[in-house]
Amino acid sequence: MGVDYQYVIEGFITAIQPANILWVIIGGFLGTVVGMLPGLGPATAVAVLIPVTFGMEPTSALILMAAIYYGAMYGGSRSSILLNTPGDGSAIAAAFDGYPMTKKGQAGQALTISAIASLIGGLFAIIGFIILAKPLAAFALKFGPAEYFLLFLFTLSAIVSLSIGNMVKGFISMSIGLILSTVGVDLQSGVHRFTFNIPQLSEGIDFLIVIIGIYAVGEVFYNYMSLDRIKKEKKKVGTKWITKEQWKQSKWPIIRNGPIGFLIGVLPGAGGSIASMLSYTTEKQLSKHPEKFGKGAIEGLAAPESSNNAASVGAFIPLLTMGVPGSGTTAVILGAVVMLGLKPGPLLFENNPEMVWTLVDSMFIGNIFLVILNILLVGLLVRILDTPPKILYPLILVLAFIGTYTLSYSVIDFYILVIFGVIGLMMKLLNFPVAPLILAIIVGSDMEQSFRKSLVAHDSFVNVLVASPVTIALVILTILSICYPFFIGWLRRRKQSRA
């Protein structure tokens, strides 16, 4: 499993050709902009650019599309941090602590640390790619339905365990999310479930609509309550330079979560949303002061940002080594490069190694460019906060609707969006955690399908749990994550009784 460093270097030389650098910059910039808009994620951005790539050389097209992809990872968190409206699944975790930081007047610093964390996460993943691409691809294949089912289960339990002291509400929120994920045609049997004869529902409820509804629309409704009370005070946005203290706090979380995100990105079907959520929970559980999480802890922002960007690089491994798209975006990229006459598959690495390495090296350049771009943009972006809320909120609402429409070009989604806006508002008022619901919608349907397939493959539920070392490890992790809050509670009580 040696690495051909010669090709890595040759690829680098191709990647720094002016034309290719230009594509990286264009792609990164476009991705950042599109990523900021609610609903428009990297998949849509790449898809609309397919006609543009028609006449391009395959390598340049691949570079451009990859740059859009990780550019959107940078951009997606901008709106999470500033407006509490994630543009995409993988940017949700950035809202948990990023938005509280903005409220505390640290918007500039939040944007900067998120860009830096993304850069470091991305660089980790690129190095990981160069060294580990092939063995990792082989490992990812071993993930069968049983492994996926338990991975999803573990992620869910980790998210629920975040709501310490509020577990019941966390579980309710998760159940609602899972219920919503069962709407649509059941893949295994073709049975229409809970679709009420509406054809648009047959493919299920798009989780992006739920995210936009709960975060963007719900947030606007929630802010209506304080609309008239806000005096014309000049909001503090603070400096964009992070302090030494902040860097010390976020250094290790960034370094730890790059590899986590990378590994999860490699698994086909997992992706950025799960990577960033898992990183967030990991950091909270490792932290010495978990109570600060959700209230603007800088490490709570840095960890998922490092992770989701690493995941987007990792997602290219199954695509380039086996021709298997690991995420929605890489699936669109695959479709596009096939149109150009390129065949990603096991032969690509053998026949066109220089192309693969050019792409990987271009990611290196792209990430450095993006961090500069994003830090330069900080000053401009924080201006958004200067917009009077009475004007800003209507604009966010309109953007939410446009974003929703572009998801599946149907007005029915508008009604779904509003319903989730109201649900989001109520959840906020009643102090229900939102994250379990969102994550359950994202993974719910895959989780059920893997569950059912694993039952067919392993005959009984117990066999599913012990199918492989990976499943056993995941079962243990799941149990630990559920017991963890109780353990913490017990520790605290003991401390109190001693004192």
Q: CA dist 301 to 73, 82, 142, 293, 373, Å?
A: 14, 13, 32, 9, 19
Binding status of residue 264 toward other proteins by CB under 8 A: no
Query: Which of 233, 409, 462, 496 is close enough to bind other proteins by CB under 8 A?
Result: 409
Q: How far apart are CA 278 and CA 284, in angstroms?
A: 10
Closest by Cα among 362, 325, 315 to 345? 325
Binding status of residue 487 toward other proteins by CB under 8 A: no
Residues in the chain: 499
- Which amino acid belongs to residue 234? K
Residue closer to other proteins by CB (options 123, 474) is: 474
Binding status of residue 54 toward other proteins by CB under 8 A: yes
Binding status of residue 48 toward other proteins by CB under 8 A: yes
Q: What residue has token string 């990780």?
A: 70
Q: Under rule CB under 8 A, which residues in 279-308 are in contact with other proteins?
A: none
Piece in contact with other proteins (CB under 8 A), picked from 77-85, 94-102, 333-341, 374-382: 333-341
Cα dihedral 277, 254, 119, 373, rounded to 10, equals 80
Report the SS3 class of residue 197.
Answer: coil
Query: Which of 332, 363, 378, 464 is close enough to bind other proteins by CB under 8 A?
Result: 332
Tokens of 140: 């990812």
Minimum separation from the CB atom of position 274 to other proteins (A): 16
Mask for 344-383, x = binds other proteins (CB under 8 A): xxxx--x---------------------------------
- Which amino acid belongs to residue 266? V
Residue closer to other proteins by CB (options 218, 300) is: 218
Q: What residue has token string 């951009």?
A: 75
Residue closer to other proteins by CB (options 45, 297) is: 45
Q: CA dist 149 to 291, 326, 413, Å?
A: 30, 16, 29
Q: Under rule CB under 8 A, which residues in 144-183 are in contact with other proteins?
A: 144-145, 168-169, 171-172, 175-176, 178-179, 182
Binding status of residue 4 toward other proteins by CB under 8 A: no
Piece in contact with other proteins (CB under 8 A), picked from 62-70, 141-149, 244-252, 303-311: 141-149
Residue closer to other proteins by CB (options 117, 425) is: 425
With CB under 8 A as the rule, give the number of residues binding other proteins.
98
Q: How far apart are CA 87 and CA 84, in angstroms?
A: 10
283: left (phi over 0), alpha (psi -120 to 50) or beta: alpha
Q: Under rule CB under 8 A, which residues in 187-246 are in contact with other proteins?
A: 187-194, 199-200, 202-203, 220-221, 224-225, 227-228
